[in-house]
Structure 1
Amino acid sequence: MTTTTYVTRTAAGALAALLLLAGCSSKAKDSENGDNGKQSAGGIKTGEGISGKTITLGALTDMTGVYATLGKSVTQAQQLYVKQLNAAGGVCGYQAALTVRDHGYDPQKAVSGYTELEPKVLGFAQFIGSPFVAAVKQRVDGQDKGLVLPQAWSAALLGSPYIRVIGSTYDIETINAVDFLIKEKGIKKGDKIGHVYFEGDYGESALVGSKHMAKEAGLTVVEQKIKPTDNDMTAQVAALKQAGVKAIVLSAGPRQAASLVGVAAAGGFDVPVIGNNSAFAPQLLATQAAPALMKNYYVASPSLPIGADTPEAKKLVADYRAAYPNDALDNGIVAGWTAASAFGEALKKACKNKDLTREGVDRALLTINDFDLGFGPVQDFTDPKSASSRESVILQPDKNVTGGMKVVREAEASEAAKTYSP
């Protein structure tokens, strides 16, 4: 599950520099106070984020911005995981706690939220927003070294042993999306495809993928760069129609998806549109765009949907409904649950190693090469330079199924995705 008020890479670099300065001061205080390398009575090393009998994790989410629906689902799924983990005895005798901050997809709030929570948490089970994670990457890698499992899939986040993207990155996901258009929607050599994308790490990472696949397949990409505040896609649809594109890739948010697909349908522009994983919310099926979405819109996803026909999905649906009976089901639940579970698995392995410091948890995650929760692709976290999976599931909106999304192609890595090297 990223995206609005996108900061540019220059802004991200400036934010990172500010964070680095703030972090130096913070870490100096920690060392002076002797907070690192503590040891419990059971001989288990502990450090930041562990106090008394509690392990505190952080969640930097969007509850009020462009991804408010996603943020709420991700957060509640992680709170559910923590509740179940504690009910099962916790980790090494410690109970887990999740401290949540809403940044509203605002860069300043995201940075200040990280600065506030970083000294208090073991790591982050959630951090929504590729540009915001990129802004703190230098500090995470250089001195903080706390595990971050973001709800962001920019390829720019690869290479860090501490920031681990779960699933295929946007470039790989887009390669698989265009492969679907070629194999299932009749796109062929010589055709033009449109690509509407947010400025910033999310959209530009996805654009790399569409351009790579276009080169491989003999296609031409017609670009339409937009800002996250651009909610009316009329001009973009008109430009792509005039250019004669035969399909459209969308790397934006749910609002842009509804507008683009709805405007295209109203104008008789009958072409398939496929979005990245964060470009849909089931609430769109209650809008006037619903018929067009169910006819012509598809989504590339790093996992099976919440309504998948697997025992694990059915159990998660039942548990989530029991905990939050008044809330809708969407794929943010899967993303949140998966990240929390991966962090939990790392904690359990670190416990066995008697090292619950940040470094110990980081090392533990890097030993996991077969993480499988029953939602499709198996994740391999052992190589920080590579995506944990190159597979994508292709989904289609359907208001008659749980969570509003049905599977039209099972988890698969296209040949181009298998051989792709950024």
Structure 2
Amino acid sequence: MNTTYVARATAGALAALLVLAGCSSKAKDSEDGDKAAAGGVKTGEGISGKTINLGVLTDMTGVYATLGKSVTQAQQLYVKQLNAAGGVCGYKVALTVRDHGYDPQKAVSGYTELEPKVLGFAQFIGSPFVAAVKQRIDGQDKALVLPQAWSSALLGSPYIRVIGSTYDLETINAVDFLIKEKGIAKGDKIGHVYFEGDYGESALVGSKYAAKEAGLTVVEQKIKPTDNDMTAQVTALKKAGVKAIVLSAGPRQAASLVGVAAAAGFDVPVIGNNSAFAPQLLATQAGPALEKNYWVASPSLPIGADTPEAKKLVADYRKAYPKDALDNGIVAGWTAASVFGEALKKACASKDLTREGVDKALLTLASYDNGFGVDQDFSDPASASSRQSVILQPDKSATGGMTVVQEAAASEAAEGYTPQA
């Protein structure tokens, strides 16, 4: 028997059943919405009784487990406070959380399970996984998704809205920092270690663009999310004579890369994208090397920022989760939840809490800053909501383990660059 054929046939049958189930669910929600409209506020999918249901597709056990936990707990805290203040239009907001462990099959199945039940997604970790269901979101589901992912491949969708600069823009700003602050000059080589897939390849587009503008050469090292030992990559980059390294991977890869480079006497600056650090790394053997030779480009100020909003979030988070460390995942989660919350409030004011109503409401947020230093413009789905990056440096003495070395700014190269969806 051809087991491949059977598997494909079974998958096709399941897909057909899921389509029918989705249609059935949507039809029921639409009827409920018609009834609700008579009461003054139009509703649809994801609203049952007096509850607005939002989905959370996170990573609690995979390569971004630390990030996923912080993002999710920050969003749970936001929702708790929102509900305590009366909710939205008299509705309470509820989060349904699924851990995909940074596994593509679990991520897609989690989306398939939750989509008919929720108004939208306040979190979806993983650019490749969001891209895998982008066609479904754009074509039929049309539910607002605020991903913890910054691939430029996600631009152009009115429903998948990246918060902050995309990885290519962020990497352009990172290379600009290396040029202006770390002495990288025309004719130099820089290394780029990056995850295969949308995240790393989006960042690579940025490093190549910045390198071309500045007369640099990029030496590529592609890795998988399961590659945790960066010895081979450090050896290759040292042999190639690179003067600096860009890292588009996860915290584990950052600790290995910077630690191995230090042990090998390879004293070059390394700068990572926003998801390539966790303050817990400072307690490892790589901690001193990270404090000396590692920087991170971020879409916002860190959790330890000197703003009233940041200080309040630190106090509230510590009270809610006293045993957990502070990190920038908290800022990312809180920001996404507050953006979704703001869209819900504006949709409520327009008396339209359907998916379409929430999507339209987000378009009215043309200058949104929740106190973390960067204005976000969601009025154009084809553009990143920001071109700016904050440059941070690991510092175990700082709240959240990071200090600001360069305030929010967009480099000249980033301003002149057009992200390609």
Residues 216, 302 of structure 1: alpha-carbon distance in 2 compared, 3 angstrom cutoff: same
Give 2:8's aligned residue: none
Q: 1:38 aligns with which of 20, 34, 37?
A: 34
Q: For this pair of structures, how many residues does the alignment match?
A: 407
The change in CA–CA distance for 1:19 and 1:318 in structure 2 (over 3 A counts) is farther
Q: Which of these residues, 311, 318, 321, is aligned with residue 321 of structure 1?
A: 318
* 1:166 is aligned to 2:180: no
Classify 1:55/1:234 alpha carbon distance in 2 versus 1 (closer, same or farther; 3 Å).
Answer: same
1:175 is the counterpart of 2:208: no
Q: Say if 1:394 and 1:23 are closer, same or farther in 2 by CA, change over 3 A.
A: farther
Give the direction of change, closer, same or farther, for the CA distance of 1:18–1:346 in structure 2 (3 Å limit). farther
* Contact 1:19/1:115, CA 8 A, preserved across alignment: no
* 2:407 paired residue among 397, 405, 410: 410
Q: Distance in 1 between matches of 2:74 and 2:195?
A: 27
Q: Cα deviations across residues 33-76 of structure 1 (Å, max 9, x unaligned)? A: 36354342531100011011100100000011111110000000
Q: How many Å apart are 1:31 and its aligned residue?
A: 4.8
Residues 20, 138 of structure 1: 8 Å contact kept: no
- Scaled by the length of structure 2, the TM-score of the pair is 0.94
| One-letter identity of the residue aligned with 1:376 | G
SS of 1:35's equivalent? helix
SS at match of 2:78: helix
Whether the aligned pair in 1 keeps the contact of 2:192 and 2:246 (CA below 8 Å) is yes
Q: Give the equivalent residue in structure 1 for 2:46.
A: 49
| Structure 2: gaps spanning 5 or more residues | 1-11
Q: Residue 13 of structure 1 aligns with which residue?
A: none
What secondary structure is seen at the aligned counterpart in 1 of 2:262? helix
Q: Report which stretch shifted further, 127-136 or 21-30.
A: 21-30
SS at match of 1:204: helix
> Quick check: 1:176–1:300 contact (8 Å CA) kept in 2?
yes
Q: Percentage identity across aligned positions?
A: 84
One-letter amino acid matched to 2:146: L
Amino acid at match of 2:178: L
CA deviation map 1:215-271 (0-9, x unaligned): 000000000001111111111101100100000000000011001000111111000
For the Cα contact (< 8 Å) 2:258–2:294, is it kept in 1? yes
In structure 1, C-alpha distance between the alignment counterparts of 2:238 and 2:343, rounded to whole Å: 49
Query: Quick check: 1:307 aligned with 2:307?
Result: no
Hey, which bits of structure 1, 4+ residues long, moved more than 2 A? 17-28, 30-42
TM-superposed deviation, 1:376: 1.3
* Structural RMSD (CA): 1.5
Rounded to whole Å, the distance in 1 between the matches of 2:198 and 2:374 is 24
1:398 paired residue among 391, 395, 410 = 395
In structure 2, what is the Cα distance between the partners aligned to 1:150 and 1:19? 26
Provide the rounded CA distance (Å) in 2 between the counterparts of 1:418 and 1:18: 48
CA distance in 2, matches of 1:198, 1:322: 36
- Counterpart CA distance in 2 for 1:74 and 1:19 is 32
CA–CA separation in structure 1 for the residues paired with 2:276 and 2:261: 16
Partner of 2:196: 199
In 1, distance between residues paired with 2:244 and 2:16? Answer: 46
What are the residue-to-residue correspondences of 1:78-227 with 2, within 5 Å?
Answer: 78-227=75-224
Whole-Å separation in 2 of the counterparts to 1:339 and 1:23: 29
Structure 2 counterpart SS, 1:110: helix
The CA deviation at 1:82 is: 0.4
Query: What is aligned with 2:4?
Result: none
Q: Which amino acid aligns with 1:341?
A: S
Q: Give how far 1:27 is off.
A: 3.5
For the 8 Å contact 2:164–2:376, the answer to whether it is kept is yes
Give the superposition deviation at 1:367: 1.0
